[in-house]
Structure 1
């Protein structure tokens, strides 16, 4: 009997050792050399299904059909805007924790508005403009890109790229080797700041000196015959803004002729060619930075900003938006092909998502009898201030209003021994009676809210105790504070929260699910895939169904 037990123990030990070696070898072989994060600014989920027949096989369809698609992916906080979106994707948490509560917000200490990535302690690199005085200083937590740098003892690189500064800076986190964004107007160069480097690398200088941007000053016409664009509305509607120097918002757009009326290089940002230029620069970065070429995993973050500019200009039902996504599909294919060649098909992971969606143009919705409208912020805010003046006999009870948040003048309130909570409730009662406002919440209600109410939960997750205001209000569905042309975003409604989430590459299973997922799930999933620590404030779930072990 002892011999049988010894033999059994020996067999079990050998089996366990072999299994451990297999796991170690598998992990070593299949750990991606490069993770590529793609964020398409203002991309609704239904763009994938609406324009599906127009896509080729190598871009969106490749990711959808050969990778894993989360078809019910959402943002679970307010506000759904660019900076909070990018920060949430890469931190695995919401503005309540990471602190990026808007693109711009009111600083209660400095008594002024601040921009999410402005840093006066930096200097511009590659430009003399203050557009280069930027950093992630306002981001309060770590990103998945930071965690990868920490895990690899700072040997794994992070390179972040976007036309918008916030789209490049926030994904790169605090430890990025480089973040590059585009300085348009009369310069047309990719720039950075001294937070990352003292001067641009030679390859960036060479790229800026080339005709890479200038060659896109050409005619923007539809990629396919415009008569086949049956997935969108007419080419010329009163719901589109268009470009200065052109009487009607219709194809074609001669950019060489229009650039002088539209701040020169800035016009490229408002066309699909801004995305194409981003891919040109990104492919050069992959090559010159030798991304994915050693044993330490690198990160490349890419944000396509032009989709947002075009959506704001022409609206989600425009032929311009359809053509933009047809062309973006080609650019995504071009990027994936470059990754196949330069890194290797089995050596990288790419995910694609968006920072927010967008509503249909309310004036268009009204024309087809769907409830919608335009909220006149200035007049409502003025009426509120007059109401409080009458109630409390003081004309400065409100210190500031922005981002649908009311900031009270606490110095005045304390000095005059007024009741803060009573004032908050008075504001909430008044705003609730305004026709286009759906709901109002005071600071007390938000801080003590549970997660049962969907709207309250979304407000709470986007509410930062030190940076947010004292009363928040929510507009009715399809009601925006914006012009009567072009689309807007920022709400908690499905059109703003429902975005794509696609994964493709090393150890990613093929499949799809309609299970509801949220933005906070992305970073933890990447941590599990790489076997590294989660970002320090991450609270999302690991989407284990995509990982092939």
Structure 2
């Protein structure tokens, strides 16, 4: 068992769980007093608490599109009082949740972290692999499926939190999320992760971190806060005219399961009482974020985060926006309204931190794990070339072409992340060179409608940075984990057989362009930075602020903060 974080004696919680939920509700709050924006160089000591926020599936274009409708102290705290980077992006090609969460605080792309996707197949046995799966550990007091996320074993890089706790063991690093990967990967190897359990609406850790939950977790779960949303309506926050730029509810491509595809939507409307389906349906609603932030407050109080001279890190990955965008598309009114609810929750959370930790004692960084494509059905109405690329059709056509070249056989076996796995026993039995099969497969893929690029291991292992998409796919490709041939679909297309909704996972700008927003004037300064930056730059920036070395695998460099020298800005 991984040794748990050292803990101070638990103090009585300052607020009940009910009050915590109420405080992060969508009721507008008064604007906090403004803080002076001292340049980063003026900071003489690290913050007491680093709050690292991830909004799963939030493209930067949504942050700016709704700017005039934001509350005074939610996202606007970053845009009006903080440091924010308007041209921030991921540089790897397979932009999915686990790959993004592994990149953020390691400063390393999948080519180094080994977290190439949410799930993939072993390149030799073809067995399924889950990014945080580890059968050596189980969820505490909850059933554990074989591929459940229980530890960071597959993460081949250290995080900022790992470096911090190596040098300062008394520092605490906690990761919280609606998804196991959203909690485990930012928490790293030496932090502690808690994730939402859809079976009963509780938060739980795994035996990798501890044998049993601390009392504050037991108290939170015993109060059954998820049940408070049963029968509660998700209703639009603003008048109908405020959503004129978004696609109305109830479109045929918007999924109509779960809570339905129209607002207002009543949680639990199809159920007599809370149960697993109801608890699952909390996540694709604003109340998934509200519940996650309530648990974050309980963690701050139960673990006394930010209460002493040792810097603590709290990572909170808010999962609901990703579920909403998958079901309805980022162009939808449902996504628009969800973002506005989230803005109000963040305002309440920030003002809670002001009171609990003190405005001068913490900094906040917010980013996303990937962006999002518009729904193809919507994109087509706007005159764009947008379709679904059915994986089974591609696999059939690929094998037909390989049979024509090399003879009968099932040469291509499975898709894995953004690539194709091959039967190398068959290749060897026929006396063929794997490189020849890979090259022919890449050639065939390039000729298919809906695919714009395909690359062989030789290309991925080369120094070529001029070929379009090659460098992005190289950063997404780990030679010991990934499939040998990687491919890229056309812009606005989705590699899916599931009609409706939308997704992500490409090197196109709509999937790569994400927010990097910061607040903590003493360390980050204030103002918009238009210089292009990458998400890998977050880890070395935090390491510099915390006065520890950057993670060993980091590929980033410190962000050019507002007020930095011209040389730092000329990147």
TM-score (norm 1): 0.91
1:121-520 aligned at under 5 Å gives the runs 121-130=136-145, 134-152=150-168, 154-176=169-191, 178-185=192-199, 187-217=200-230, 218-244=232-258, 246=260, 249-259=261-271, 263-482=277-496, 483-505=498-520, 506-520=522-536
Q: What is the aligned-residue RMSD (CA, Å)?
A: 1.9
Name the CA distance, whole Å, in 2 between partners of 1:53 and 1:537. 40
1:58 corresponds, among 55, 63, 73, to 73
Q: Deviations over 1:353-392 (max 9, x none)?
A: 0000001111111122111111011012012113223332
1:202-239 Cα distance to aligned partner (Å, 9 max, x none):
11111111131111121111112233222312223223
Q: Indicate the residue corresponding to 1:534 in structure 2.
A: 550
Q: Cα–Cα, structure 1 residues 77 and 401, in superposed 2: closer, same or farther, change >3 Å?
A: same
Distance 1:412 1:202 in 2: 56
Indicate the residue corresponding to 1:108 in structure 2. Answer: 123
Structure of higher CA gyration radius? 1
**CA contact 1:240–1:485 (8 Å) conserved in 2:** yes
Distance in 2, matches of 1:314 and 1:145, equals 35
Query: What are the superposed Cα offsets for residues 321-353 of structure 1, whole Å, 9 maximum, x if unpaired?
Result: 011110000111111112111111000111000
Q: Secondary structure, in 3 states, of the residue corresponding to 1:489?
A: coil
CA contact (8 A) 2:453 2:469 kept: no
Shift of residue 473, structure 1, vs aligned partner: 1.3
Which whole-Å CA distance do the structure 2 matches of 1:207 and 1:333 have between them?
A: 22
Any unmatched runs of 5+ in structure 1?
Answer: 1-24
Q: 1:524 to 1:244 in 2, by over 3 A?
A: closer
State which of 22, 41, 44 in structure 1 corresponds to 2:59: 44
Deviation string, structure 1 residues 467-501 (Cα, Å, up to 9, x no partner)? 11121111110010233321210000110000111
SS at match of 1:399: strand
Kindly state the Cα deviation for residue 546 of structure 1 after the two structures are TM-superposed. 4.3
Distance 1:337 1:548 in 2: 28
The alpha carbon displacement at 1:245 in A equals 7.5
- Distance between the aligned counterparts of 1:295 and 1:39, measured in 2? 25
Aligned to 2:14: none
Cα–Cα, structure 1 residues 262 and 292, in superposed 2: closer, same or farther, change >3 Å? Answer: closer
Structure 2 stretches of 5 or more lacking a match? 1-40, 566-571
1:421 shift after superposition: 1.5
- Tell me how far 1:449 sits from its aligned partner: 3.7
Deviations 1:3-43 (A, max 9, x none): xxxxxxxxxxxxxxxxxxxxxx9765x42001110010000
8 A Cα contact 1:126 1:189, kept in partner: no
Cα distance, 1:534–1:432 mapped onto 2, change above 3 Å: same
Residue 42 of structure 1 contacts residue 307 of structure 1 at CA under 8 Å; is this kept in 2? yes
Contact 2:534 2:556 in 1 (8 A): yes
SS of aligned partner of 1:391: helix
